[in-house]
Structure 1
């Protein structure tokens, strides 16, 4: 995979988006920044990262044979690739907080942001933004953030983590076919944070309710068993899981 290293950049996702618009990328490309000035997370949140202490990168991957309606399987593959990477470094108590935050013992250690590249109504590629907290040990007003160093008490080589991540992403993408969707979904569901446990959620009105995570739909909606024994499906904008 071609790797582009930059010192400071607004956003690695925006950089790759512009590069793809200019060159119509077909090969896998990774851009890694020592410092991201406006890194983004899910739902427009900002990503807090000290320069040089963490892994902030974006990866362009070509996509073939996957329909737009099946796009959540890409999120599944990326989540599993990050999980595989952190497992390789012996990070304990890993789980996936729907849709694709990676936790270690209930604390967020990685965020993922995926942007589809669509041409003539077909999915042709994805830009995968990944932020893994590696050597940072202080996070302002983020009590639920953690890092590899905080979990393991030692420093890590950011480039070593990157190389492992890219290998795992390529491996998981090689498994991305309709025939493997069921297997990938089952593996992902087995790692879901709070699965089969009574949990508190917030709805769009800000009202709390109790439910039990059961699974996900093939579109990536969260299936929650409610108190009246009804299973309801929720998308990302409709529900928030409280810790």
Structure 2
């Protein structure tokens, strides 16, 4: 048996170059794998976050509106979107089935002169609701202006509004208005004849205004200390409630 020790071979120039290439390829592959894992982890975190957070604002595709929902900087609250079947006062009393309707509350201390609310449904359907003359604290049912219907399971994705708030007058220092059913009595509290008055009223149905439209009626001439009777026939679904009185001469 030979006593000679084996010599360890050192790699030659070619084998060194091959090893260098293998090392570089390994580093590149490892870097790609690390980047892919990081991207996947970030995507998972984003999905989890988007699933747990509520949207800051309505209007982006894929969002689901839940009610109640506030508009006009919190002055108006949309309590619900619901279906209604019957005559639509906000579409010239046209009859319909499952008409889209909103329950809106003026939760401000101001008089809402007008509110136009646009609703986009998940299937792309655009709904428009118009309401007038909502006193502070009052609730109103507004029906779709084109008599469009909605399904019970339809999803709302966007609400946006264009609302105006202003002061209105009931002329309490000159006029006293009282109501019984749809009959409005206007009494002149002054010592002078009053002419060219118009009374605006809503139909009140179980403490809720039925329809966004305001009905207006001229009073004719009211003699000093006298009174006139106005028949608010459009409020047949409930009782009339006076929301403004205007002097057309002003």
In which range does the TM-score fall when normalised by the shorter chain?
Answer: under 0.3
Q: Over alpha carbons, which structure has the higher Rg?
A: 2
TM-score (norm 1): 0.24
Structure having the larger proportion of residues in strand: 2
TM-score (norm 2): 0.23
Structure having the larger proportion of residues in helix: 1
